[in-house]
Amino acid sequence: MIGPTTLPLREIVPGVHVAPQLDAAAMTEAARIGFRAVVNNRPDFEHGPDQPTNASVAAAAEAAGLVYRFVPVDGRWQTPQQVEDFARLLGELPRPLLLFCRSGARSSRLFAAAQSSIARG
């Protein structure tokens, strides 16, 4: 169970939450409240140089003891291969799991597509 936080989280299924863009400082908070893994679905510099980079967030996540993966995907569409790869990754990552992108929407869609892929076998 995830503890109280000020992070902008939304649970999409038990043990899996999504959030809008997170920065390096958020990784310490994510670990503190109980997350075990984080996936960044937002490509670096998608909307300019002010966006936190994968490298900075990854370093902070690892320092906080989180399993971290960078799976950048387009906000409008994910390829079938990206969905299959993400489905495999979901089977490997510990829970509770935190996914993030610009708004949380692409992470939610990618998760739903991966779950459908898993259900189809």
Query: Which tokens is 65 given?
Result: 């003891």
pLDDT tens-digit series, residues 2-17: 888 899 999 999 999 9
Domain with 48 in it: what CATH number?
Answer: 3.90.190.10
In a domain, 4, yes or no: no
> What are the Cα distances from residue 8, in Å, to 19, 31, 78, 81, 114?
6, 15, 24, 29, 23
Query: Which tokens is 18 given?
Result: 């999504």
Q: In angstroms, rounded to a whole number, what is the distance separating the alpha carbons of residues 26 and 59?
A: 12
- pLDDT above 80: residue 100: yes
Range of the domain at 44: 13-82+97-103
Q: In angstroms, rounded to a whole number, what is the distance separating the alpha carbons of residues 104 and 113?
A: 14
In a domain, 116, yes or no: no
pLDDT, averaged across the chain: 95
Provide the pLDDT for residue 84: 94
